[in-house]
Structure 1
Amino acid sequence: MNVSHVRKKYIALHKKTARLYSTKPTPVRGTKAMTQQINSQVFAYTKQLTDSAFKAQSLVLKSLEKFAELQLSALEKQGQATTHFITEALETRDADGLRSLWEKGASLNRENAERAVAVTQEIIAVTQKTAESLNALAQEQQQAANDAVAAPAAAAKKAAAAK
């Protein structure tokens, strides 16, 4: 085998391969309809997903707003009680005043701790309510997706049975 013979075979193989890759695939019947159907299903699912994401975001933002409201309210009450305590401490002049101030300080600490526990319980309740709402939203989404898949399948089955 000489070099020119190998070269001719290589060129022929290259041309054949180039022809294979340059030809357009033969269109399949109904491809356009199938593509449109798939596109419409994808669009519907994307719209549904976007709507659900927007609802979930609004639920989370409402709960965060409630958290901030609860914490700021507790902070305001704690600040007022502490300011009142400091005012009394600055006005104290004798040992009896210091004893009563000690008791008021212990009482203030207890009230602040109780307030913190109450706020934490309210935050947990809001979190639980938000989680339940998000779970219901996820179940809605799943049911809608199941219905979206089942409806075309049922229609195709019905059309096949009619033929």
Structure 2
Amino acid sequence: MFVEDFVKCRIFFKKRYCAAQKALLVFIPLSHFPLRDKVMTQQLNSQIFAYAKQLSDNAFKAHALTIRGLEQVAELQLAALEKQAQVTADFIAQAAEVRDIEALRGLWEKGTSLGREQAESAVAVTKEVVAVAQKTAESLNALLQEQQKAANEAVAAPVAAIKKAAAAAAK
């Protein structure tokens, strides 16, 4: 069958095309696959492309959520770093002005209170970072559940259609 199609193809091209086109098109045989196989292949390809599009869309959404969370964490950490740098610079400026023992004693007390405040600030920023990470994880989880729901519906719809068609054929 394949040889017959190839011969038909050559005869067809001899009648309709110039020599340059014949040279290229002689090697393209007529299809020996039934039309049913082509339709099935097209359906499969369209389903694969739809799933690939859905996957890339969801990956883009997940990436955007993750980047947004990272931006919020970076903003929190940079704000805390800026505040701590300012407080430290003020403390160093005061330390440079110390001239006697009483000023040194006051500076010592201020240094310990600043250390405590910076530790409390670091703990507060860490709590905020954990809250942002938890919020991002919840958003990603919601996106995953949405994707699973869409996938379940995509699988259930053809099954329901087949059951309905089978029930109609049985009547």
TM-score, length-scaled by structure 1: 0.80
Aligned to 2:107: 101
Aligned to 1:74: 80
Equivalenced residue count is 138
Shifted more, 94-103 versus 147-156: the winner is 147-156
Structure 2 counterpart of 1:112, one-letter code: Q
Unaligned segments of structure 1, at least 5 residues: 1-25
Which one of the candidate residues 150, 154, 158 is aligned to 2:160?
154
Give 1:31 shift: 1.9
Give 1:35 shift: 1.7
Listed as ranges, the matches of 1:77-92 within 5 Å are 77-92=83-98
Give 1:28 shift: 5.9
Which one of the candidate residues 128, 132, 140 is aligned to 1:134?
140
CA–CA distance in structure 2, aligned partners of residues 156 and 29 of structure 1:
22
CA–CA distance in structure 2, aligned partners of residues 95 and 82 of structure 1:
21
Aligned to 1:120: 126
CA–CA distance in structure 1, aligned partners of residues 75 and 35 of structure 2:
62
TM-score, length-scaled by structure 2: 0.76
Moved >6 Å (runs of 4+):
none
Aligned to 1:9: none
Contact 1:63/1:126, CA 8 A, preserved across alignment: yes
Unaligned segments of structure 2, at least 5 residues: 1-31
Indicate how the Cα distance of structure 1 residues 37 and 160 shifts in structure 2: closer, same or farther if over 3 A, else same. farther
Higher relative contact order (CA 8 A, sep 6+): 1
Structure 2 counterpart of 1:86, one-letter code: I
Give a deviation string over 1:53-107, Cα, whole Å, max 9, x none.
0110000000100111001000000000001000100001000000000001001
CA–CA distance in structure 2, aligned partners of residues 152 and 64 of structure 1:
40
CA–CA distance in structure 1, aligned partners of residues 38 and 152 of structure 2:
25
Structure 1 counterpart of 2:42, one-letter code: Q
Contact 1:52/1:137, CA 8 A, preserved across alignment: yes
Aligned to 1:39: 45
Q: Could you tell me the percent identity over the aligned residues?
A: 66
CA–CA distance in structure 1, aligned partners of residues 49 and 140 of structure 2:
23
CA–CA distance in structure 1, aligned partners of residues 152 and 44 of structure 2:
16
Shifted more, 150-159 versus 118-127: the winner is 150-159
